[in-house]
Amino acid sequence: MNSPLRIALAGLGTVGGGVVKLLDENRDLIARRAGRPIEIVAISARDRSRDRGVDLSRFEWVDDTSSLAERDDVDVVVELIGGSDGPAVALVRSAIASGKAVVTANKAMIAHHGLELAGAAERAGTALKYEAAVAGGIPIIKAIREGAAANRIDRVYGILNGTCNYILTEMEENGAAFADVLAEAQRLGYAEADPTFDIDGIDAAHKLAILASLAFGSEIDFASVLTSGIRAVAATDIAHAAELGFRVRLVGLAEVVGDRIHQRVHACLVPLTNPLAKVSGSLNAVVAEGNFVGRLFFEGRGAGEGPTASAVVADLIDIARGEAGPAFSMPSEHLEPIGAGEAGDRRGRYYLRLSVADETGVLAELTATLRDAGVSIDSLIQRGQAESGGVFIAIVSHETSESAVREAIEAMRASGSVLGEPMLMHILDF
């Protein structure tokens, strides 16, 4: 057997603890597959005394996490602290500068600094790997970067946040309250340290920006992702969606349109016939469309200890085998800066939920406003009592432009016929 790959673990929370357990349980199998053992040399986290359900006394504990980057007895620094800036990125920068390989699960850091870090790793002749950062256990980085590398990819999309998918599923299937399910997602280790990153769509936007770069060969452009989350999704939307033949899902979608890239994360209505509608709980799914391979669909656990550890250790096995290569789908200097498209350009079907006064003539006024804006109605239902005292109207449009629907909403607001905040969602029709 060859000499071991020596690793230092920074961060021993959900993912770090999972990595220790996986390396213990599958130790011999991994050594055979990698051609050499993978051994933890040193560990570091904020709180030494915390019980992580695994014996850590056999490893050297280091109080100063940043010192892991300098050690001569470490080949790979595994960064599992999190955060787009601060100690995680400082550790990764200095590990790369010392010629060490880096494995990370930190999508926030890759979305913000991926290009810089990839360039630094290339110059240092070392590896930067981050399979766990996108869609947890689904090997989607490997699939796009290697398996589909021969294709031009113009669209990549999917369900990229396990916490939101778990919340939406529990709300739909069990009528659970948003706050209760979020607390459970935190207990299960799915949520980010700050769960607003999950529910406001930021975590999914980090992942989408990384996927778009890999798929399109473009520089990561996190700042251009139009991002909204699931806070505004009400139980009534989920019920309306079911009645109309849809499920509500938080979808990240990136596509090339002409010479522009559109990137959006938002709650969508997904037709029940679409495989994404069947993705439930903490599962994630990613669809990539290649010009030769066609449509690829990947599904698996996007969050939690086991699936995320699986992705981290897969990266370590690649490094142990000497199979690392560039961090993105090409050397970072070949990634192109591609501009972002305009939001109002999108054409498609829309779901619009309004609360309106329960009075004669209001419905006729609404439909006339939509008609005047060039929006024609596919289906309309009136259901339930709104908190504002009015009734809920849910409308599904035929294909139209987003700007037309927004124009109609503004006209309805101006006329005073709409009570409360309207809810607009795209319908995912591919």
Ligand X SMILES: N[C@@H](CC=O)C(=O)O
Ligand Y SMILES: NC(=O)C1=CN([C@@H]2O[C@H](COP(=O)(O)OP(=O)(O)OC[C@H]3O[C@@H](n4cnc5c(N)ncnc54)[C@H](O)[C@@H]3O)[C@@H](O)[C@H]2O)C=CC1
Catalytic residues: 207
Q: Given the structure tokens 């522009």, which residue do they identify?
A: 260
d(CA 120, CA 98): 11
Site for ligand Y (CB under 6 A): which residue of 193, 293, 343, 368? Answer: 193
Cβ-Cβ contacts under 8 Å for 361 (sequence gap 6 or more): none
Binding partner at 163 among Na ion, ligand Y, ligand X, none, C-beta below 5 to 8 Å by kind: ligand X
CA 236 to chain CA centroid, Å, is 25
Looking up tokens 């340290």 gives 193
How many chain residues touch ligand X (CB under 6 A)? 11
135 belongs to the binding site for Na ion (CB under 5 A): yes
Strands (E), 185-282: 226-227, 246-257, 260-271
Q: Which stretch binds ligand Y (CB under 6 A): 5-13, 29-37, 292-300, 365-373?
A: 5-13
Q: 183-186: long-range contacts (C-beta < 8 A, 24 or more apart)? A: 185/282
430 CB neighbour count, 10 Å cutoff = 12
422 interface partner picked from ligand Y, Na ion, ligand X, none, CB below 5 to 8 A per type:
none
Of 34-42, 159-167, 233-241, 403-411, the segment contacting ligand X by CB under 6 A is 159-167
Write the burial class of residue 364 (CB in 10 Å: 0-12 exposed, 13-18 middle, 19+ buried): exposed
105 touches ligand Y (CB under 6 A): yes
Tokens of 110: 């890759």
Contact flags string 176-215 toward ligand X, x per CB under 6 A: --------------xxx-----x----x------------
CB atoms within 10 A of CB 177: 13
Question: Residue 131: which of Na ion, ligand Y, ligand X, none does it interact with, CB under 5 to 8 A by kind?
Answer: Na ion
Check whether 336 is labelled as a binding-site residue: no
* Near ligand Y by CB under 6 A: residue from 41, 248, 303, 354: 303
Instruction: State yes or no: 14 annotated in a binding site.
Output: yes
d(CA 294, CA 391): 44
17 carries a ligand binding annotation:
yes
Partner from Na ion, ligand X, ligand Y, none binding residue 63, C-beta < 5-8 Å depending on class: none
Which residues make up the interface to ligand Y (CB under 6 A)?
10-16, 44-47, 65, 80-82, 87, 105-107, 132, 136, 189-190, 192-193, 303-304, 308
